[in-house]
Structure formats: structure tokens, C-alpha cells
Amino acid sequence: VSYPSIVGEILASGFSIIGFSWICSPACTELEVVVMDWLAKFLQLPEHFLHETEGPGGGIIQGSASEAVLVAVLAAREQAVRRELKNHPELSESDIRGKLIAYSSDQSNSCIEKAGVLAAMPIKLLPAGEDLVLRGDALKEAIERDVAAGLIPVICIATLGTTGTCAYDDIESLAAICEQQQVWLHVDAAYAGGAFALDECAELRRGLDRVDSLNFNLHKFMLVNFDCGAMWLRDANKVVDSFNVDRIYLKHKYEGQTQIPDFRHWQIPLGRRFRALKVWITFRTLGAEGLRAHVRKHISLATQFENLVNADARFELVAPRALGLVCFRPKGDNEITAKLLQRL
């Protein structure tokens, strides 16, 4: 966390905005559009994720990665139900809902499985490879098996930077399968997304031009305090169509204009916090270079620690260091690791 972010949080609390719609606080919506585009450019995301680019893409600040994943899962589910109803008029809606299935890796964060529980749609956790990476071949095999059994694949949630070892799923090969099968591809980059800002980590961004949505937590790597989960959608209309429930008291003069999104349709609650203010102040105070330097410092500290582990005969690495994460253990029985963990 950083002081600028804390100041932003204090100001937002003081203003006490409850941004149901644009008219409740134009700044709350409009500053979010500005900072989400800044952030997308800073992370070098594909242009179709920017509000300022013509088209249906854009970004929003959710509370957490869990919320972003749930929104993607629910929107993908509703899009799939509508598509199947159109293609198979002989099936009832409940028949279709009973056949839906989603996919992720057995290395994905607990919030992915939880999104499946909340969305009442099973999410199969596919086995990652020995390097803990999920690839297209595992997804292809699972989809072929499920389609043959009459199921309807809906969404695959890949991870860039898994919680356990910061492994990166192979987005290109997963995207190829998702495109063939009309499956929504979401990327959870809750932690590793901060490294997209570094030219030396450009490899991590490979395939992002082919994903439908992604999330990244500013409260993990970007010196912004909790809560601040950025999410981008390639086609926000798919979310708006799925979640749009209107009332007369929510109407305002800019309704339906793409430059002024109604973020309430992109999220689970109606009201929203003015989170953009702490992002704006943090970016304006520390600057892009300051934030990049912070991510590089994390990586350099982890590299130093990795060297210390490698130089000490009592310890070993369990996975290659990735960004700021070093997975290590004392050599020998697992009990020693458990004891060390407890002492730490």
C-alpha cells in the first residue's frame, strides 16, 4: 500500500458516494473510465479493452478477483443459455441449464471453484502439467468428452500467476480451443498482472488479444490498498445484456451512451464505491515509472532470496522463482516444513 492510495481512500470515504448510476456522482463513473484506460495502457493490454477505443470493450473496478471471476462466469452462462435456446428450440431452459459445464486448472485459486458453486454450474478442475501449467490439449480432451456426453461447455478460466507457484497457463493454446468451441476465455491475473507493465515480462501478455475478459488486483502489486480489483471485458454488452434490470429511479440523461457506461450492469451490487479516486491519486503521485520500479523491486528482492535459498544446503526450491514468489522448503521430512511455517 502507499500513502497516496490511503489519502484517496480517506477522501472517497469522506465524500461518501454511493454510485448507483452516473447521476449519483458523475465523477465516480467518469474517473473510473479514465483510470481504467490509463491502467490498460500501462499494462499494455490489447486496445479493444479500452473505453476510448471504438467498440464494446472496457474496464471496471470490482471489489476483488472473486467478484470479477463470478461476473465473467455468470455472463458466460447467460450468453450460453441464450445461444443454446436459439440453436435448440426443442430444449427447455432448465434442460439447457442442467447441461452447462465450465473448466479451470487444478492449480487455480479457490475463488474459481466458488464462482461455480455460486453460479450453480460445475467447474471441472483439469489436471495441470508437471510444470503446473494448464494447456489446450487438456482442455480439448475434457471438452470432447463432455460434448460427447451431451454437456454444453461455457467458460474456461485460465490463470496467469497461480496462487501456489505463480505458474502461467498457456493462453494461446487454450484460446485456440475456446475459439473453436465458442467457449468464453477468462484470465485471472490477480497477482501477476502487475508485471504486464514491464517490457522484460512481455511474454506474459502473449495471447491476451484472444481472451474475452481478465482481472488483475491493484491491491496486490500496484500500491493501491484493498479493495481494488480491475476487470476488462472485450465485449461489455455481453455482461450488460445478461445483468440489465432497470427501474424508473435509475434513469439519467446519458443512459445507453458508450462513453458513459452504467457500471451497475457490469457488477453484482447496485451501489458502488469511488475506488477510482485512490487509483488516480496513486498514479498521479507515483507515476508509471514509480509503479514499474516498485514491481521490479519485488522481483529483485525475490531473486536475492532465491539466491540465499540456493546457497544454503538446508533448503531447496520447490518451483522456479516467478516474479516476487519463491517457493522453498527445508530438505527432508514434510514435518520440518510444517514446523518452519508455524514458526514463521
Cα 63 to chain centroid, rounded? 11
Q: Toward ligand PLP, which CB reaches closer, 96 or 214?
A: 214
Q: Which is nearer to ligand PLP, 99 or 124 (CB)?
A: 124
Q: How far is the CB of 166 from ligand PLP (least distance, A)?
A: 9
Interface stretch with ligand PLP, choices 61-69, 140-148, 232-240, 333-341 (CB under 6 A): 61-69
List 87, 109, 215, 217, catalytic entry = 109
Candidates 53, 81, 129, 163: give the one binding ligand PLP (CB under 6 A).
163
- Residue 109 as a binder of ligand PLP (CB under 6 A): the answer is yes
Among 190, 211, 279, 326, binds ligand PLP (CB under 6 A): 190
Of 63-71, 83-91, 253-261, 263-271, the window that binds ligand PLP (rule: CB under 6 A) is 63-71
Q: Which is nearer to ligand PLP, 5 or 66 (CB)?
A: 66
Residue 159 binds ligand PLP (CB under 6 A): yes
Q: Annotate the chain with three-state secondary structure.
A: CCHHHHHHHHHHHHHCCCCCCHHHCHHHHHHHHHHHHHHHHHCCCCHHHCCCCCCCCEEEEECCHHHHHHHHHHHHHHHHHHHHHHHCCCCCHHHHHCCEEEEEECCCCHHHHHHHHHCCCCEEEECCCCCCCCCHHHHHHHHHHHHHCCCEEEEEEEEECCCCCCCECCHHHHHHHHHHHCCEEEEECCCHHHHHHCHHHHHHHCCHHHCCEEEEEHHHHCCCCCCCEEEEECCCHHHHHHHCCCCHHHCCCCCCCCCCCCHHHHCCCCCCCCCHHHHHHHHHHHHHHHHHHHHHHHHHHHHHHHHHHHCCCCEEECCCCECCECCEEECCCHHHHHHHHHHC
Report phi then psi at 256, rounded to 5.
85, -5
Q: Does residue 165 bind ligand PLP (CB under 6 A)?
A: no
Q: What nine digits make up the cell of 300?
A: 529483485
Grid cell locating 19: 454510485
Min dist CB 197 to ligand PLP, Å, is 17
Interface region with ligand PLP, contact rule CB under 6 A, candidates 5-13, 47-55, 85-93, 160-168: 160-168
Q: Which stretch binds ligand PLP (CB under 6 A): 73-81, 187-195, 288-296, 315-323?
A: 187-195
191 binds ligand PLP (CB under 6 A): yes
Is 225 a binding residue for ligand PLP by CB under 6 A? The answer is no
**Nearest alpha carbon to residue 128 among 152, 153, 159:** 159
- Interface with ligand PLP (CB under 6 A), residue from 229, 279, 323, 326: 229
* Contact stretch for ligand PLP (CB under 6 A) within 158-166, 273-281, 296-304, 330-338: 158-166
Q: Shortest approach of ligand PLP to residue 217 CB, angstroms?
A: 5
CB of 68 to ligand PLP, least distance (A): 8
In whole angstroms, how close is the CB of 69 to ligand PLP at the nearest point? 7
Query: For residue 152, is it left (φ>0), alpha (ψ between -120 and 50) or beta?
Result: beta
CA 48 to CA 29: how far, in whole Å?
19
- Map the footprint of ligand PLP across residues 245-264, applying CB under 6 A: none
Q: Does 104 bind ligand PLP (CB under 6 A)?
A: no
* 217 given a catalytic annotation: no
Query: Judged by CB under 6 A, does residue 111 bind ligand PLP?
Result: yes
For ligand PLP, give the closer residue by CB, 188 or 212: 188
Q: Which residues are catalytic?
A: 109
Applying CB under 6 A, the residues found at the interface with ligand PLP are 64-66, 109, 111, 159, 161-163, 188, 190-191, 217, 229
